[in-house]
Amino acid sequence: MMLEDEDYLDAIHNMISTEKVNAEYAVAVTGDNFSEMFSGMDDDYMKARAADIKDISNRLGRNLAGAEETDLGAMEPSIIVADDLSPSETVQMDKEKILAFVTVHGSVNSHTAILARMMNIPALIGVPVDLNEIHTGMQAVVDGFNGEVIFEPSEEICQKTIIRIKEEEEKLRLLHALKGKENITLDGKRIDIYANIGNVSDIGYVLENDAGGIGLFRSEFLYLGRTDFPTEEEQYQAYKQAAQMMAGKKVVIRTLDIGADKQADYFNLGKEDNPAMGYRAIRICLKQQDIFKTQLRALLRAAVHGNISIMYPMITSTEEVSEIYGIVKEVQEELEAAQVPYRVPEQGIMIETPAAVMISDELAEMVDFFSVGTNDLTQYTLAIDRQNEKLDDFYKPHHKAILRMIQIAADNAHKCGKWIGICGELGADLELTEEFLRMGIDELSVSPSMVLKIRRIVRESRAVQA
């Protein structure tokens, strides 16, 4: 299944064609990238997939080198009961004949559980089964939802299990039917559905949910949870890895948005009475340009390796954009002087302040795209601190003022031939998807788990109201 995964293959093919490397190297680097991505995930279950990815990439490398592999594919349709299974053993089995897994050792992070997740088959890991009492030919029911295995079940249990299997198969059929489908409305409007991520390890969820790209890479997470600034090389490797893994798909990286509710002690920002409206995001970058230049150098270098776009947060004036472009120019000159390969990618801004909305006609002439940050736009427009629990009843993201502001920004972007997306939480609000289509929004960037749900609504909607 890994070898049939388009994202895995695209990453290898893209590296071969763009970096002019041989297949063995491309497979090794892609294997390392994907393995590192999964090992860095917070979820332990997903983290253990790193071993499988490494294993299959190593096997592919050996095959490219002409080494022989033992064929373990011959087996009857079976529930596999074992002490444990290695990645190589599991991968070489005929997956069409695996009905379920039960292992005595391991945990939900074991290799068998990982394969089960890929194949969507029931699996129980770490079950205290006496293997001496189990023999080939026994009938069994494996219920992965309730964590039960029943050997020699009654006829009633068998019938109930068959019904549940059919129900789950129908759910999966409906879900998988949307993968690979176009995000096109009934009346022919196409919209891009991208995903929001916080770090490279999240790309696994992006690929798994068939997002068309990354609409918001929150680069500030590279700065959090540490005691000093990330180096240019650290940032470059993270951005490069994201670009390589997305294999030509758009990766929109937001520059540092520290401050407000995201704090790092080593920034020495100090306490502010109202940090949401204080020293944060692009304001820090323009005041402490050494921090900004380090990130820009990493971004311009990484842009050589894929379809990266840069997005600047918390813009309130055309002067800020002009100053940003001046700093980008300085970074270009530095890289050229050092003979470091780079590319200046598409550059856009976030529309998340009322000021940016009101001058969006002028801003649209200066930038390549807009992306609406509805979280901050809502709190600034309604004068409500979204971190204040006492104000939850007053925080209304469906407020007419918010929707009108989004419409104004969309109209001004399109007048200048620029695209506009939404990367805030409102983009995943299923109640507003049709309205965003009618507004002319070109892209919605949401959490990976929402991609297929948004796609379903898009495909069942009309962009122009009848």
Q: From CA 230, how far away is CA 219, in angstroms rounded?
A: 11
Q: 3-state DSSP call for residue 156?
A: helix
CB within 8 A of 401, min separation 6: which ones? 381, 382
426-447 CB burial, b ≥16 within 10 A, e <16: bbbbeebbbbbbebbbbbbbbb
Token representation of residue 351: 């529309």
> Active-site residue 158, yes or no?
no
Beta strands at 123-125 and 140-143: parallel, antiparallel or unpaired? unpaired
Query: Rounded to whole angstroms, what are the CA distances from 431 to 291, 381, 426?
Result: 40, 21, 9
Q: What are phi and psi of 234, to 5 degrees?
A: -60, -45
Beta strands at 148-151 and 308-312: parallel, antiparallel or unpaired? unpaired
Of 206, 200, 199, 204, give the one whose Cα is nearest residue 446. Answer: 206
Count Cβ atoms below 10 Å from residue 220 Cβ, excluding itself.
20
Of 345, 333, 402, give the one whose Cα is nearest residue 373. Answer: 402
Q: From CA 67, how far away is CA 60, in angstroms rounded?
A: 10
> Active-site residue 416, yes or no?
no
- Give 286-305 as a DSSP string: HHSHHHHHHHHHHHHHHGGG
- Give 356-372 as a DSSP string: HHHTHHHHHTTSSEEEE
Query: Where in 261-415 does DSSP place strands (E)?
Result: 308-312, 346-351, 369-372
Task: Determine which one of 13, 105, 111, 135 is catalytic.
Answer: 111
- Residue 15: exposed, middle, or buried by beta-carbon count in 10 A (0-12, 13-18, 19+)? buried
CB within 8 A of 304, min separation 6: which ones? 341, 342, 343
- Residue 182: exposed, middle, or buried by beta-carbon count in 10 A (0-12, 13-18, 19+)? exposed
Catalytic positions are 111, 423
